[in-house]
Amino acid sequence: MSKTALLFAGQGAQSVGMGRDFAAAIPTAKAWFDRANAALGYDLAAICFNGSDAELTKTENAQPGIFLVSWVAFELLKERVPTLKFDATAGLSLGEFTALTAAGAMSFEDGLRIVRQRGRFMQEACDTTQGGMAAVIGLDEAPTREACAEAGVVLANLNCPGQLVISGAVDRIEKACELAKAKGARKAIPLPVAGAYHSPLMAGAQPKLAAELAKAKISAPRVPVISNVTAQPHTTPDQITARLVEQVTSSVRWEESIRHLLAHGFTRFIELGPGTALSGFMKRIDRSAQMLNVADVGSLEATVKALG
């Protein structure tokens, strides 16, 4: 019997207007956006729907905004497909919080509040360090790691074959890009990000995030949730907290996480939230997997139809 996993978008998926057609067309969606605004005490929905690109891209807005739009996509899919059964969840970086919330490990309000604070803490770490990231295209993991070691940066995201992301001090990222190209990378492109996510330069955010997580009630998830840090399912609530703190400076092992699910009989994946980056990664990991997504009203209708 085929198994279904829900996948939740990560930072970088944000775009102005995300979630707007949900709220305009579906009363349930508007109610979730209103609930989020009340929980946060400011109009996050307005930033998602009509904010400037610069405002939405700020880590403290992008992270809760993506969490919220992904959550609304999840709730609307459940509403339209009451028989929807999912057997695991996973999320890219920030998306791991949405994945845990969807699996019942924390409440919607706690998940949203923690992600908002996580974004703030990471922005503060960006502001006190001169960090950057770059995408390395068309080079295997081993030579990319060599380039990182030689330049003094780290491998931040292992997304899919041929697409890796490196992270570290800005001047060292430039050197790492040159080294990666010398080792055969097709491209090595600096990314327009505020800092060096998933690197030791984010360590300043960790104690603050730990304190924030300590205020929340974390429960054992109802279905397996794959950890970015280990590429294995989370276990106890204490371990979930520890891994989420560790995740801030650790590599995101996305390809390995998906391969874990594939090896355990998962054949259908539904990407929830803005963009289709995770669907793109899946094409490079296993083209035979069924990949659906819910990012707006059109893709919701298409996914509902595909689920029959």
Q: How many CB atoms lie within 10 A of CB 268?
A: 17
Q: Are 164 and 284 in contact (CB under 8 A)?
A: no
Q: Are 6 and 71 in contact (CB under 8 A)?
A: no
Give residues with Cβ within 8 angstroms of 89, minimum separation 6: 5, 6, 7, 8, 99, 100, 102, 103, 221, 223, 224, 225, 226
Across the strands, what pairs with 106? none
Alpha-carbon span 71 to 78, nearest angstrom: 11
Across the strands, what pairs with 233? 226
pTM exceeding the 0.75 threshold for the entire prediction: yes
Choosing from 70, 167, 198, 234, which is the catalytic residue? Answer: 198
Could you tell me how far CA 242 lies from the centroid of its own chain?
Answer: 18
Q: Which CATH class is domain 3-127+200-307?
A: alpha beta
Of residues 275, 299, 297, the one with CA closest to residue 25: 297
**Active-site residue 198, yes or no?**
yes
Q: Residue 183 class from Cβ within 10 Å (0-12 exposed, 13-18 middle, 19+ buried)?
A: middle
Angle at 147 between CA 144 and CA 152, to 5 degrees: 125
* Per-residue three-class SS string for 219-268: CCCCCCEECCCCCCECCCHHHHHHHHHHHCCCCECHHHHHHHHHHCCEEE
pLDDT number for residue 177: 97
| Residue linked to tokens 């955010």 | 205
pLDDT tens per residue across all 308 residues of the chain: 689 999 999 998 999 999 999 999 999 999 999 999 999 999 999 999 999 999 998 899 999 999 999 999 999 999 999 999 999 999 999 999 999 999 999 999 999 999 999 999 999 999 999 999 999 999 999 999 999 999 999 999 999 999 999 999 999 999 999 999 999 999 999 998 889 999 999 999 999 999 999 999 999 999 999 999 999 999 999 999 999 999 999 999 999 999 999 999 999 999 999 999 999 999 999 999 999 999 999 999 999 999 98
Type of residue numbered 167: S
Choosing from 70, 93, 167, 227, which is the catalytic residue? Answer: 93
Task: State the DSSP code for 294.
Answer: E
Angle at 25 between CA 23 and CA 27, to 5 degrees: 65
pLDDT number for residue 71: 98
Return the CATH superfamily for domain 131-190: Malonyl-CoA ACP transacylase, ACP-binding (3.30.70.250)
Q: Are 231 and 96 in contact (CB under 8 A)?
A: no
pLDDT number for residue 192: 82
**Domain positions in the chain:** 3-127+200-307, 131-190
Which H or E run contains 97? helix 95-102
Alpha-carbon span 44 to 47, nearest angstrom: 5
Q: Are 60 and 14 in contact (CB under 8 A)?
A: no
| Residue linked to tokens 């509040």 | 113
**Active-site residue 93, yes or no?**
yes
pLDDT number for residue 201: 97
Q: Are 72 and 32 in contact (CB under 8 A)?
A: yes
pLDDT number for residue 69: 98
| Residue linked to tokens 């055969």 | 184
pLDDT number for residue 193: 86
pLDDT number for residue 257: 98
Which H or E run contains 308? none
